[in-house]
Structure 1
């Protein structure tokens, strides 16, 4: 067997700022040319392992290493970041954080310029790696103006100019629409086939990564390796679910149907899944079970958008002729490709931007003359990153800020803040500093600071981006409880699981227009809409076809209803 290109031996690491180690007794060998997925819940040690491999630990994040780690023959803990960068290229979760140059060509050339490479050689290298990742036609464009998938390609090109042997991807799908995420996984596959590089992927979206094969999955938990095995072996067992990692939906459906899974059935891909006739019959029998589906009571119209048009600059239209009506108590997803107009729509509803034409109505009243402050009394907006919304040191003061700005009496401020904190499960922490909270808890603080204004509509931009399955479930069950209390909830999201599991309606956008208003199950079984909106057909659709179930959207809806019933029973235990 060849010498491992990466080898941890009894490796441990403890950050200087923490009382306990983050990694314990890591023994891991990765062979040249392997493709390895590292999975695990937040705080399990995945990112720490990555930072040890690329040299950020211990130099940017100081701490104490034990045991040994070699990367392409280099003693990593005692090497410089510069030296390791010759062996390991890292593509971050947010490509914008990696861009340096004013054009794509300049950005790719940045490392070569630092090395004082001659201009002819530099140009030749840039053109070579640009062709490798299919961005040779974008070299004169500004990196920040590209689509999410194009940005990932440019980031990858920037780390490949050194002919690195290891490519490390830290949550490469977190900010991408489903189609761009699929293209990114295909790109990683193509680049590895062309270069033979070793690929390490850290990602929560397990099913999306498995769109292309990986050799192994390393499952992390509480700083230790819980499993190091093939995708088939891991998906056939229960370790993923037991450790808070979302299984692919088709795997969950098969388990609900009582189908036994073994590695021999090739469960890592729904397309290659080997089901017996008995397995298919079990799925059909499960599908025919009756699931109590609660009927939503008839509700009055609340929010109406009429013929809305908008452009950020003259001659450009970012939103065109958008019309829809939401009822009181709706929970709705807004989905579509990056740049389709989803976030722009949210800004227009909140009054952050002024439409060229059309109007927004609330409870039968045109909001055209309302200021942002006046709209905020009825429509709350929660940004994707809570740190961008928080300005106060203490939780109580943060939630009270809007009321105090409105000069309400302090006794009224205290009553409403305590009420909002109770709804959000934060009342026991009301005197805590915001800095002591987790990301998910900070998200709740921002929601509480909006709820305290008593809005009728709550708009959230990517409420679960970058969250592991446990934190995703925590945030979404909380939002569901708010919806059940009467709040109308609108979510701008790329997460198709979120859309399927928690919303009954999807507004679909493509090229500045709304092209669909239908149920999530119907949407993800409509190949035309899926392609237009840069989405991805659910694996439940493929499973239904394999088992001869028609129409597939009815099977998808059955899964959603059954899964909700299971979750509700589990939560009441």
Structure 2
């Protein structure tokens, strides 16, 4: 078969550091392949994609020993700006890839630089937005999109370029279950019907096994193994971690009935009259572990930001710790809340991992010896102790998520509000994050978790709150979720379609 991408990489490093980020890679990707690349955190998956696009050596100034060829050409003979003629690239974090104010402008940006006729540009924008399920979003501001909607917009802008190769880094990390299935269907159609070569990094490669023809497993900067989708599925079924929920369930049975937070008739509208939340009323008790679920754009993140005080409601009121949330007491209340953004980069700013975790402790003027002990302890707990002295943005996406939760946990808040803290993580890593949150909750603390991972919501929470079209559609005890199978399906949530057996037959 004719090759689309050929890599013979002896090593890739970033001077002055000598550590090899990639090494001993000999890989040929044929035209029409659908490749899934998986592996543990910091195994080199994203950097392999950067090598294919040319960004590793031409943008990040990496020292590449070896050759990379795309469509028969050495990448060093292709100016980086011209690589878009061959490759459509989608980053892990969609917000880092958007440059325009409106959705229509964003999708048109790349093809405008191709100097296409105006009518063809408009036609491509319309078709690609329809293709990703965002018809009617043309005039929406990009900064008001949910994480899943932003991911679809970026995908549309990439697809509009009509390149022969798609390179996608965790393209479904922020999508709900339906959105994931739709996206896999879109990409599969392009692969099978249009002959487009697809190279996709996935921490949970099992999600796309029906669509791929090759699975690459990376470890320590190299391709450790290649296997068929069938063989990978067998291995996944054998090694899938099963959390021990006995202690969690025992603790949930002992939770307090004392009200921690009361939300009454809460509404919020974004610019351009786009609804975020409408008439939400909700009570949260001390010791609750609440899972907030719903489709992309249903209002989950908006609700979380209102409860934390990041947004000011248009109507309604919030009471926390027995006091109304106001501008006057906002700082005091926030000091008792740990907030985890959907994108960890929005809350990481220090120059080293240890300084990031230490920041909140230093604002409290604790002795340095105590700070060091606490920081080392939490970094060891989340598996980042070995990275204490490096810059946070040299960590992988999942490591940065671990860093964000470590920075929250070290401050010992009363509440943790977590917006998709396991997005982009594999099963084992997700379990680690959830066990950390569970241990926090078992101390009598409260967790409010926004998630698209319905299995985690079922395993760890004691209450499920379902959002639908900016309203509160369901608020039930988790163990009763099987009785609401019909209601969940009506609002677009189906546990069985997620591949999870919960006795909802």
TM > 0.5: yes
Which structure exhibits the higher relative contact order, with contacts defined as CA atoms closer than 8 Å and separated by 6 or more residues?
2
For 1:301, which of 258, 273, 281 is the aligned residue? 258
Q: Deviations over 1:471-502 (max 9, x none)?
A: 43333222222222221111122222332332
| 1:456-467 superposed matches below 5 A | 456-467=414-425
C-alpha distance in 1 between matches for 2:200 and 2:312: 42
Deviation at 1:61, TM superposition (A): 1.8
C-alpha distance in 1 between matches for 2:182 and 2:319: 39
C-alpha distance in 1 between matches for 2:208 and 2:77: 32
Deviation at 1:414, TM superposition (A): 7.9
C-alpha distance in 2 between matches for 1:292 and 1:389: 29
Q: Equivalent residue for 1:333?
A: 291
Q: Equivalent residue for 1:443?
A: 404
Q: Equivalent residue for 2:304?
A: 346
Q: Deviations over 1:29-73 (max 9, x none)?
A: 222112111111111111111111112121012223233332211
For 2:234, which of 233, 236, 246 is the aligned residue? 236
TM-score by length of structure 2 reads: 0.82
For 1:424, which of 378, 384, 389 is the aligned residue? 378
Deviation at 1:110, TM superposition (A): 2.8
**The structure with more radius of gyration:** 1
Label 1:227 to 1:443 Cα distance change in 2 as closer, same or farther (>3 A).
same
Deviation at 1:172, TM superposition (A): 0.5
Label 1:421 to 1:524 Cα distance change in 2 as closer, same or farther (>3 A).
farther
**What is the root-mean-square deviation in Å for CA atoms of aligned residues?**
3.9
C-alpha distance in 1 between matches for 2:112 and 2:499: 49
| 1:96-245 superposed matches below 5 A | 96-123=95-122, 126=125, 138-139=137-138, 141-145=140-144, 151-210=150-209, 212-237=210-235, 241=239
Label 1:446 to 1:62 Cα distance change in 2 as closer, same or farther (>3 A).
same
Deviation at 1:23, TM superposition (A): 1.8
* Equivalent pairs, count: 492
Equivalent pair of 1:52/1:77 in contact (CA under 8 Å): no
Label 1:380 to 1:440 Cα distance change in 2 as closer, same or farther (>3 A).
closer
Label 1:234 to 1:467 Cα distance change in 2 as closer, same or farther (>3 A).
closer
Long gaps (5+) in structure 1: 242-246, 257-289, 405-409, 545-551, 556-573
Q: Equivalent residue for 1:46?
A: 45
Q: Equivalent residue for 2:364?
A: 403
Equivalent pair of 1:320/1:513 in contact (CA under 8 Å): yes
Label 1:102 to 1:171 Cα distance change in 2 as closer, same or farther (>3 A).
same
Q: Deviations over 1:266-307 (max 9, x none)?
A: xxxxxxxxxxxxxxxxxxxxxxxx999636225232324243
TM-score by length of structure 1 reads: 0.74
Label 1:346 to 1:20 Cα distance change in 2 as closer, same or farther (>3 A).
same
Q: Deviations over 1:297-353 (max 9, x none)?
A: 252323242433222369765333333333332222112122322223223333344
Equivalent pair of 2:12/2:64 in contact (CA under 8 Å): yes
Q: Equivalent residue for 2:277?
A: 319
Long gaps (5+) in structure 2: none
Label 1:91 to 1:418 Cα distance change in 2 as closer, same or farther (>3 A).
closer
C-alpha distance in 2 between matches for 1:41 and 1:160: 28
Equivalent pair of 2:145/2:297 in contact (CA under 8 Å): no
For 2:267, which of 303, 310, 316 is the aligned residue? 310
C-alpha distance in 2 between matches for 1:185 and 1:391: 34
Label 1:502 to 1:423 Cα distance change in 2 as closer, same or farther (>3 A).
farther
Deviation at 1:17, TM superposition (A): 4.6
Deviation at 1:216, TM superposition (A): 1.4
Q: Equivalent residue for 2:28?
A: 29
1:383 aligns with 2:341: yes
Q: Equivalent residue for 1:491?
A: 449
Once the two structures are overlaid, the 10-residue window that deviates more, 151-160 or 179-188, is 151-160
Q: Equivalent residue for 1:262?
A: none
C-alpha distance in 2 between matches for 1:239 and 1:225: 22
C-alpha distance in 1 between matches for 2:314 and 2:127: 45
Q: Deviations over 1:153-210 (max 9, x none)?
A: 4433433444321111111111222222222112212233342101111112334334
Deviation at 1:524, TM superposition (A): 7.2
